[in-house]
Amino acid sequence: MILPALAEAENPFWRPIKYSLFPPLGLATLAAYRSPDDDVELQDQHVEELYLDDSPDLVMIQVYITNAFRSYRIADHYRQRGIHVALGGLHVTSLPDEASQHADTIFLGPAEESFPRFLRDFRSNVPQKAYTSSIRTLRNLPPVRRDLIKRDRYLVPNSISVTRGCPHHCDFCYKDAFFKGGASFYTQAVDDALTEIDRLPGKHLYFLDDHLFGHTKFAGELFEGMKGMGRLFQGAATVESILRDNLIEKAADAGLRSLFVGFETFSTTNLVQSNKHQNLEKDYAMAVSRLHSLGIMINGSFVFGFDDDDEDVFNRTVEWGVKNAITTATYHILTPYPGTRLYNKMEQEGRILTRNWDLYDTRNVVYKTAGLTAERLKIGYDAAYREFYSWANILRASLGHESHKHKLKHFFYTGGWKKFESVWNLVIKTGNLNHMRPLLEAILSKVSRRQNNSICPL
């Protein structure tokens, strides 16, 4: 089972630490369906050199858009040697005709139900060309094969996913195409999720779910069950869910210390055009204030290149993030992924400039822009990262908190993440990444709750 490296791994600005965070959880999940007698190996090219001179009975490759060409080369290599190759993942589901040219079998959509069927067919020498599933459930999943994960090569080996999909349907999001033909959002049973959490060593967890708060009842019961487990965790949620009821307080009591939040844009026009209705008429500053009052750090996600964006969108976005003490910011250039409504619309309008999937990394402009030139969009995107992560702005944002502990946490977390690349590279090369986990846990330690009045509106 292979996760090929993304194309950006060869970029001169590649950050090895960014791709040494999480193990390939999807492949480890599917590996649990293999027979106990099977000899299974899991390779992740982001953290190890691939060994391709073996002769297994079956090769399974996970394909994302920016590793698609590399995945196809690996697949072709094995197929030329008469080895059965199966491809699955987001890109395969979006472009099955393209992927099927490089595979003996492809998987469309989630594979928790279809992969066991394939294994039975494969053992009977009657594997099908394509497998899809309309049965969407996480009930009675076998335990993830974490024994296949090389824990010492990841900063966050305790990644976990207790839901699939998302209840929202943004036009630019890949996930709608992936879950087409069945439920697009579903959860584990709470007891099963808590059992999986209990299997994980140490304190720190990272929920890779697209929207951990997406099902209010499930999330509330999950957080209630986690209280007293002594966990520190990170995850992702929407502005709407942060402002809803007292769910965020329950998460904080259970150990939530950092949250990825999709703000994306401040423009109502852009939100409407991208079908991101969950952010409409929501008070971003109020959501930030609520998180800060609970001592929760924020990774804000922002997208540049919507049709309503103007020349000043970069400065406005950076300044808002700094003034509102956002801990880290993830900026993206709008990217029309194949299979999304955004891609289909732009293709109909003749706006798609290239089908070189290596460039679909949210760092490059791959479509005809409207409000901004492609050159200005790229320059503004790069400048936004430089400005937000300048030492001056890291310090200014850190001082936006009332608690001295929160100020220090912010400063060291943001500075450590972006300003010590050579240190991270050395830690990775010397095989000491696992020794950094206690430091991460220390930075994520609890901040006493207090009112935070330092929030600034847009």
Residues 180-215: tens digit of each pLDDT:
888 889 999 999 999 999 999 999 999 999 999 999
177: left (phi over 0), alpha (psi -120 to 50) or beta: alpha
**How would you label 326-351 residue by residue, b for 16+ Cβ within 10 Å and e otherwise?**
bbbbebbbbbbbbbbbbbeebeeeeb
In whole angstroms, what is the distance from residue 33 CA to residue 382 CA? Answer: 43
Give me the CATH topology for the region 2-132: Rossmann fold (3.40.50)
In whole angstroms, what is the distance from residue 100 CA to residue 397 CA? Answer: 49
For 154, the enclosing helix (H) or strand (E) is none
pLDDT at 175: 83
pLDDT at 279: 65
**Residue range 95-133, pLDDT digits in tens:** 999 999 999 999 999 999 999 999 999 999 999 999 998
**Is residue 324 within 8 Å of 266, Cβ to Cβ?**
no
CATH class of residue range 155-443: alpha beta
pLDDT at 447: 79
**Is residue 288 within 8 Å of 320, Cβ to Cβ?**
no
pLDDT at 163: 95
pLDDT at 182: 84
Dihedral sign, Cα of residue 407, residue 413, residue 419, residue 424: positive
Q: How many CA atoms lie within 13 A of 382 on its CB side?
A: 8
Query: What are the residue ranges spanned by the domains of the chain?
Result: 2-132, 155-443
pLDDT at 82: 97
In whole angstroms, what is the distance from residue 22 CA to residue 155 CA? Answer: 7
In whole angstroms, what is the distance from residue 401 CA to residue 338 CA? Answer: 41
Positions of the chain with pLDDT lower than 50, given as ranges: 451-457
Pairing label, strands 256-264, 297-304:
parallel
Provide the token pair at 233: 């965790």
Provide the token pair at 329: 């910011």
**Closest by Cα among 361, 346, 369, 342 to 170:** 342
pLDDT at 13: 64
Entry field: residues in the chain = 458
In whole angstroms, what is the distance from residue 321 CA to residue 327 CA? Answer: 8
pLDDT at 268: 76
pLDDT at 207: 97
Provide the token pair at 155: 């900063």
